[in-house]
Amino acid sequence: MRGRIRTDATAQIIGEGLVGGKTIENLTKGEDTAAAQATLTGANITPVSATLFLDVDALLLGLDPQGRFFSHDKLEGVAVLDGGRQIVISNDSDFGVSGVTNQSPPWLLQAKISPATGLQDDGEYLVIDTSRLPAATSTATVTIHVSG
């Protein structure tokens, strides 16, 4: 999750989303963030602001510094449930395929392997209960006596 976005600001976009006859994308084309912000402000457009809500990467690395827990390279789906108490994220596994291994048919598919686990990537989802953050881990030693 990147963050919360404020959407209470209003923008003066006339007609079909054009500013001075240009789309916002064309109005700011080629500009860096600071220049684009100045251009939009000059056109009386207030860009939304964002603040960090949940750093998923830090959360996952806090649970496993080697990155093996939910070890996917990109997220695809995000859902917010229970009034924001639960966040469900799903990965984009690319169907477990990273590409082809040859240049001509018949195509041989190459498995998409997680560098953290050494296993083929597959579809997975993770439910984060925000009421239980920050996440905590613990270690316990259990002694088992087997008699036979």
Residue 4 pLDDT class (50, 70, 90 cuts) = low
pLDDT in tens, 81-90: 999 899 999 9
Q: Report the share of the chain in percent with pLDDT over 70.
A: 89
Task: Please give the Cα distance from 144 to 47 (Å, whole number).
Answer: 60
Neighbours of 60 (CB within 10 A): 19
* Bond before 134 cis per omega within 30 degrees: yes
Report whether pLDDT(47) > 60.
Answer: yes
Residue 2 has a pLDDT of: 42
Report whether pLDDT(137) > 90.
Answer: no
Residue 1 pLDDT class (50, 70, 90 cuts) = very low
* Site of tokens 């498995």: 111
